[in-house]
Amino acid sequence: MNREDLRYLFFTIPAIVYIGVFAFYPAFDAVFLSFIGSDGQFTLNNYKELFYFNIYGTIIDTIIVTIGALLIQLLLGLGVASILAREFRGKSFFSTLSIVPMGVATVVSAIAFSLIFQTAGGYANTFLTMLKIHPVNWYANSYISLLVVMIADSWKNTPIVALILLAGMMSIPKDLYYAASLDGAGPVRRFFYVTLPNLKSYIAIALIIRGVSEFNIFALPLVLIGFHPLILTTLAYELYSTTTIYLSSAAAVILLAFISVLIVLNIKLGGRR
């Protein structure tokens, strides 16, 4: 290693220290604390106690939010990317408008959607009343509450998926579309037989990247629906607030395990590409 390499390595030290202190150390500390009891001894009771807090239901609700939000974001992202991949008047304005939600703070978007889905006087129920439809109590049922979270989260994060898919669409050779047109394929057939097959790796990467974030979702459901229904992140926070840090750490480790699987999948897919 020469002096030039050492100089570049020196500039990475702040980033390495930051990641070590604020990412790796808390993760390892959480794993360690999850196996410690209130008496300071090694134990597996923290994981056993989680089952008394409906950990199965919490995991299911987390998976429902993740899958539901990913489906919404994928469908909307494909639509937005398909529009942006074409040339049309006002494309620059539409492109800018489509990424605005990414710049909105999560708490701000959560507050905005809480106003939209208020049971009394909310914009959604006001619109339903105009259509002569009975207002909906959006927070009376846990699954409807989760749907509200999916919608709010999708509004903010669909632009990320759209940008990834747009990059994939722009990389598809135009010759493929031309050849398909010569064979008599219309826009729909070209989309399903040319665009989608060439977007498989981009779709997988987008879903995994967003899947990691969905499992980490915290501020949005906390502001919109509070602690009920619980998802893994809010469960860990509630346990930390109401019980012990050891039980909270066990919930955090379960969350970490799910995220780690998604990260490994992302790395493997990246290697294949």
Q: Which two tokens stand for residue 116?
A: 């939209």
108 versus 1: the higher-pLDDT residue is 108
Q: How far is CA 41 from CA 36, 37, 49, in A?
A: 6, 5, 16
Residue 9 belongs to a domain: no
Whether pLDDT at 222 is above 90: no
pLDDT band at 263 (very low <50, low <70, confident <90, very high): confident
In a domain, 185, yes or no: yes
Q: What per-residue confidence (pLDDT) applies to 229? A: 62
Joined tokens for residue 201 = 């790796």
Check residue 227 and report its DSSP letter: T
Q: Whole-angstrom Cα distance, residue 232 to residue 237? A: 9
- 83 located within any domain: yes
Q: Domain for residue 213, yes or no?
A: yes
Q: Is 264 a domain residue?
A: yes
Q: What is the pLDDT of residues 172-191, one digit of tens each?
A: 998 988 898 888 888 889 99
Residue 253 has what pLDDT?
86
Give the pLDDT of residue 228.
65
**Band of residue 73 on the pLDDT scale cut at 50, 70, 90:** very high
Count of structural domains within the chain = 1
- The half-sphere exposure of 199 on its side-chain side, counting CA atoms within 13 A, is 25
Would you put residue 40 in left (φ > 0), alpha (ψ -120 to 50) or beta?
Answer: left
Query: For residue 56, what pLDDT is reported?
Result: 77
CB 150 within 8 A of CB 69: yes
Residue 270 has pLDDT above 70, yes or no: no
Extract the tokens encoding 136. Answer: 């909906």
Q: Give me the domain span that covers residue 184.
A: 18-272
CATH of the domain at 236: 1.10.3720.10
Q: What is the pLDDT of residues 95-117, one digit of tens each?
A: 889 989 988 989 999 999 999 99
Asked if the model's pLDDT at residue 237 lies above 80, the reply is no
Confirm whether 125 is domain-assigned. yes
Compute CA distances 59 → 10, 54, 147, 194, 212, whole Å: 42, 9, 16, 37, 14
Q: Mean pLDDT score of the chain, rounded to an integer? A: 85
- Domain assignment present for residue 254? The answer is yes
How many of the other CB atoms lie within 10 Å of CB of 121? Answer: 9
In a domain, 61, yes or no: yes
